[in-house]
Structures are given as C-alpha cells and as structure tokens.
Amino acid sequence: MPPTSAFFAVSAAVGCALAQQVPAAAQIVNQKIFNVLASVPPPAVANDSTLFVWPGVTEDSLLAKPFHIYDKEFYDVIGSNPSLTQIASSASDPIFHEAVTWHPARDEVFFVQNAGAPAAGTGLNKSSIIQKISLADAEKVRNGTLKAVPVTVVNTTNPQVINPNGGTNYRGNIIFAGEGQGDKVPSALYVMNPESPYNTTTLLNNYFGRQFNSLNDLVVHPKNGDLYFTDTLYGYLQDFRPVPGLRNQVYRYNFKTGATTVVADDFTLPNGVTISPDGNKAYVTDTGIALGFYGRNLSSPASVYSFDVAKDGTFENRKTFAYVPAFIPDGVHTDSKGRVYAGAGDGVWVWNTSGKLIGKIYTGTVAANFQFAGKGRMIVTGQTKLFYVTLAASGAPIQ
C-alpha cells in the first residue's frame, strides 16, 4: 500500500518536534525516512565499513552540518552554536589514534599513534609514540589565525612507554595502557608525569606472573579510586604480540594494596571502558567484529555493554546498552550528566542513559577515540585527521 496522509503527518510532526532553534552546524535526522528503503544491499555491499547515505542526503550534506540531531535531548549536548574543525592531518600514518587525555594545568591534550598499523611501521619494529597539542592552538585554527596545530612528540624514558594505547588522568599524572612488544616486553600500565621530562613508572606488568594479552583502555572510578582496565588481543591480531595466554577480561587495580582482580569477562574483544560520574554504571565496548590483520567477522559484537557497579566496586547486571552499525564503538566516555559517547566509523555517537541514540558528531571518517577537555571542548582522533569540537556539554570530573 502507498503511504497514507496520516503517515506523512506523523513524519512531519517528528520533524517539527525536533526543529526548535536548529544550530547552523546541525541538522535533524528523521529516521522514518530510511526505515523502509527501495533497495537494501547485501552484506557484501553495505556493511560496517560503508557510510550510510540514505535518500535525500549525500556525503557532502552530512558533513556540511556535522551535528546530527536524532532526538531533542541532543540540543543539551551541542548548545546553540557548536563547531567541528579539522585541526591537523597526516598523509597516511595514523598518528591520531587513542589515549586522548586532557592535562588541565597546561591546557594540553595528549594522544598516541596507532600501534601495529602498517603505515606507521609500529608494533614489533618500533613503539608507537605519545604526542600532544595545545588547546590554545586548536582555538586559533578554529578562528582562522593558524593553519594547523603543531604536534609535539613526547619522549619517555626509564622506562619508555611501549606501544601505548589507552590513557587516563590520575592525581595530576597520566596512566597509559601499553600493549607490549613481542614476547619479551610484556603489556603494562605506566604512570607518566605530563610535565617535562615526562618521567615514568611502571605500575603493573603481570597477572600473578603471567603476561597480559594486550592492555587497551582504562579509567579511574570516581568514588572508590580504583583503576579499571581492559585486556584484549589487538597486539596479537596486529602481529606484534604472542599467542594470548589469558582470557579477554576487564580488571580492577587497587592503588593502596596493589591487588588486581577480574571484574568481567565473556567478551570477544573488550576495548574501551568508562564509568559514569556518579560511579554507579560502567560501560565496556566489545569490538569483536574487527580482527586486525585477520579481517572482520560481521556477526561478532560491535557493542556497548553496561554494568551496575556495586558498592564494593564489583560489576553486575550486564546489559546490552547499544550496538553500532558503523564499524565499531571504540573509545567510550561519559559527560558530566552521564550521557554516553563512543567513537565509531563515521564519528562520535551519543546516547542518553537509557541507551537511546540522541545524536552524532559526524566526521565522515573513523573516530577511534576522543575526550572532553573540560567545559564545552572535545578532541576527536580520526587516525589521519585530528578534530576540535566546541559544544555545550562538559566532560566528567577528572580524577
């Protein structure tokens, strides 16, 4: 049957409900338009690696207004005048990858190169590097007084942070999750002073004498102060770590006692981890669909799972919070209101606390990770592109 006038009336009503004071850099997405398509391509044609361009839009139009409003709650995130600015780029080396961490004292943001990427030559032959930018420079690019932000390489020694991937703030320092190198250099957690000379300390490099597989991401709990981190297989899947010797799990580290315990398993490839500002919810991304040098398994998870964090700090009540059809949900963070953000194949996806998609910060390319830089600012790492976002939302308090 052809669509009825009632159908069109409902669709128009949806648009009107969302159309209140749409910012210049934003556009409303009416999902009813693509709920039924004239032709739905098979998985070999339309899959996790393809951008979804539905009738009535183009890749250019999606990028022209990159703040995509799926629900009116997204207005609280973006405010009245959001902006997305590309502030740096690389020809092929994915130097803008993971561990995005804001250092408030100097208003700088640290991030790391992709370990194991063929274009970088990192992994087994050499370690990926830590880098930083100034947010003052990012603002100059946004207002047109600077062409691109200078990117500074941060050299660590005694010990060197080997193949860093995840990063988080801790009492004025930054803790990095290092993936390890070969079978002689174990995966480890490193504490780095974010001020020159960037001196480091190894915090943890084994689980009762056994090497971790490939430590990936980490977060400090805002209430109990413990460190939660994920261990996965990406060092092995990118050919710079040995055959795994442990289950893929989420761990908890107690700074006072040094105790390391397992809090969750049953993942394919656990990746990003974060905890809500009130400490009651934990979110873990599972990127099992992406198998590094070994291709993809489209029926494996590209999912965000939520857990309740009990008073004793353990995880319980696992729930599927969201599934991302655009590549994978990689880095995951919350804002100060507890909304959940994840980097995906086309930008940063944003959900409310119930798991409803309320909007996207659309980059048109992979957003491997991102992080708030205080109030109303965000840095997004897009592998060969670096983005600076201004919006209304603020990051969760720094530990």
- Quick one: average pLDDT of 28-35? 97
- Quick one: average pLDDT of 355-380? 97
Q: At 14, is the pLDDT very low, low, confident or very high (cuts 50, 70, 90)?
A: low
Q: For residue 22, give Cα distances in angstroms to 8, 19, 32, 312.
A: 22, 6, 19, 44
Per-residue tokens: 224: 């109990």
Q: Read out DSSP for 160-222? A: ---SEEEEEEETTEEEEEE--BTTTB--EEEEE-SSTT--EEEEE--BTTB--S-EEEEEE-T
Helix (H, G, I), strand (E, B) or coil at 11: helix
The Cβ of residue 332 has, within 10 Å, a number of other Cβ atoms equal to 25
How far, in Å, CA of 341 to CA of 391, rounded? 14
Q: At 16, is the pLDDT very low, low, confident or very high (cuts 50, 70, 90)?
A: low
The pLDDT, as a whole number, for residue 291 is 98
Q: At 20, is the pLDDT very low, low, confident or very high (cuts 50, 70, 90)?
A: confident
How far, in Å, CA of 178 to CA of 200, rounded? 12
User: Does residue 124 contact residue 240 with C-beta atoms inside 8 Å?
Assistant: yes
pLDDT digits (tens, 9 = 90+) for 296-318: 999 999 999 999 999 999 999 99
Taking phi first (over 0 means left), then psi (-120 to 50 degrees means alpha), and beta for anything else, what does residue 14 get? alpha
Q: At 17, is the pLDDT very low, low, confident or very high (cuts 50, 70, 90)?
A: low
The pLDDT, as a whole number, for residue 399 is 81
Question: What is the residue extent of each domain of the chain?
Answer: 26-38+51-394
Helix (H, G, I), strand (E, B) or coil at 9: helix
The pLDDT, as a whole number, for residue 7 is 45
pLDDT digits (tens, 9 = 90+) for 269-279: 999 999 999 99
pLDDT of residue 222 exceeding 90, the answer is: yes
Q: Which residues of 41-77 are buried (b: 16+ CB within 10 A; e: fewer)?
A: eeeeeeebeeeeeeeebeeeebeebbbbbbbebbbbb
- Domain 26-38+51-394: CATH superfamily is TolB, C-terminal domain (2.120.10.30)
How far, in Å, CA of 231 to CA of 196, rounded? 29
Per-residue tokens: 232: 């996965």
Percent of the chain with pLDDT over 90: 94
Q: What is the mean pLDDT of the chain?
A: 95
DSSP 398: P
pLDDT of residue 8 exceeding 50, the answer is: no
- Quick one: average pLDDT of 250-263? 98
SS (H, E, C) 99-154: EEEEECCCCEEEEECCCCCCCCCCCCCCCCCEEEEEHHHHHHHHHCCCCCCCCEEE
Question: 280: burial class by Cβ within 10 Å (0-12, 13-18, 19+)?
Answer: middle
> In angstroms, how far is the first alpha carbon of the chain from the final one?
57
How far, in Å, CA of 371 to CA of 168, rounded? 10
The Cβ of residue 397 has, within 10 Å, a number of other Cβ atoms equal to 9
Q: Of the candidates 137, 145, 98, which has an alpha carbon nearest to the alpha carbon of residue 331?
A: 98
User: Does residue 30 contact residue 8 with C-beta atoms inside 8 Å?
Assistant: no
Provide the whole-model pTM.
Answer: 0.95
pLDDT digits (tens, 9 = 90+) for 164-207: 999 999 999 999 999 999 999 999 999 999 999 999 999 999 99
Q: At 158, is the pLDDT very low, low, confident or very high (cuts 50, 70, 90)?
A: confident
